[in-house]
A and B are shown apart, each in its own frame.
Chain A
Amino acid sequence: AAGVIQSPRHLIKEKRETATLKCYPIPRHDTVYWYQQGPGQDPQFLISFYEKMQSDKGSIPDRFSAQQFSDYHSELNMSSLELGDSALYFCASSSPLAVTLLSTDTQYFGPGTRLTVL
């Protein structure tokens, strides 16, 4: 089965540079989530999109922005990179079920992008 695709898989940047991470959700999934996992840390939620609109926002720095495009892929843009931005960045996608009293969706994660800021 098709999975979530993230590109690039590895990225090395200098301080103060910009970076763009891309996420291609599982086909027919319309919701995308971004998570950041620092060294030795657990994944932390950054931001999510549902049907191309921002749906939730977590601990995302103001230097970061993201969007979801008409084909449902998403991009995370990171500017003025800092050493502390070095982390694994995961994208997850889900497909909310039809409206039911107890509907839920399951998030499926991509392999991640390892960003190293020097």
Chain B
Amino acid sequence: DAKTTQPPSMDCAEGRAANLPCNHSTISGNEYVYWYRQIHSQGPQYIIHGLKNNETNEMASLIITEDRKSSTLILPHATLRDTAVYYCIVRVVKNYGGSQGNLIFGKGTKLSVKP
């Protein structure tokens, strides 16, 4: 699976958009970009994933560059409860059913949302 690079920490004001970048310059064509977050010692929480198109769900938006070498997770209106470590994970997709393999967690970005 391709490696990812994220800034170790970021701050965001409550109510503002939080934009978390991720570099995955060695990503290959069959790899998805996944985002998870972990709120202090809780289980990692799935946020969103995408292959090459931008994706949006009730939690966040995922913007993937056209060359797929980087992406940005956007939390449109950050709240104090969004303070967490955010992990960007690139994951190979096998072209058959069955287990798709484990997640490889990097260091992530510690997002602090401040009042």
Contacts and interface: CB of A to CB of B under 8 A. Distances in A.
Interface of A: 4, 31, 33, 35, 42-45, 48, 50-51, 55-56, 58, 88, 90, 92, 94, 96-112, 114
Q: Which applies to chain B's interface (DSSP): helix, strand, loop or mixed?
A: loop
B47 to A, nearest CB: 10
A9 to B, nearest CB: 11
Nearest to B105: A42
Contacts, number: 83
Interface residues of B, number: 30
Contact of B98 (A55, A107, A108): A55
Name the residue among A101, A102, A111 with the largest chain B CB count within 10 angstroms: A102
Interface string B64-98: 00000000000000000000000100010111111
Contacts of B91: 104
B105 A112 contact: no
A96 B100 contact: yes
Q: Which applies to chain A's interface (DSSP): helix, strand, loop or mixed?
A: loop
Contact of A105 (B45, B51, B100): B100
Contact of A104 (B42, B46, B100): B100
Contact of B44 (A51, A101, A102, A109): A109
